[in-house]
Structure 1
């Protein structure tokens, strides 16, 4: 999958999770406001690939929804999808012994864990990710502040976290 398509699908997921849209035309308009210009046929293929469905909203209107609502919960104040993509998703990190738990926004854990596992973080042996939680194994005797400093290259928001 190309980077452009990956970015488009991510924007589509953000739009669906932040707005109540009931037609493909509304989705196409929302995507064009984000700088994605595509045909209805391409949108249909994207919706099928993402397994998007329609469901009744609180007001009874049928709107597009993602298959796993915990992954992209509806936000109360809609923002541009491109703005939402700039957020790292990091929420907190805590340690116990040689283990750590990183909490993220729903849907962000696997991509952050992937980045940790594919970077040279000397004090982290590996990760296991769920939807909003990452379990990390830290080298025995590693200093937690050093681990956080090493992770700051992957998770910029971690610098703002109170230790």
Structure 2
């Protein structure tokens, strides 16, 4: 049942621009899968889905593809399209994004595998990124500013 549901989720996000867990749950229920928002949330994590900016500027769920040479470029675009501000305090960075895109930014930061970053936590429009120390937090900030072409 779970694998059939996962296949349906992949089919739905490829066919529709789904931007909320509630919308995904509704479409699954319409397709005959009795699910709750909590089940959908677990499925999103299991399938490694992330929100990306759509052509219309609205966020939508997409499949996180296997690592490739293009992955860095994809994540760079996510950062360029969604970051709105960046502040550093000691060894932490507070990164603001457009609403609904913080998880995508956190996933992008994790995928870049910068040695300075210990990890990040995402809300709806804010990411808290923890660096090893204050100096490395500044390095991360400079790298991000370079990506954003703010330098």
- TM-score norm. by structure 2 comes to 0.49
- TM-score norm. by structure 1 comes to 0.46
Larger Rg: 1
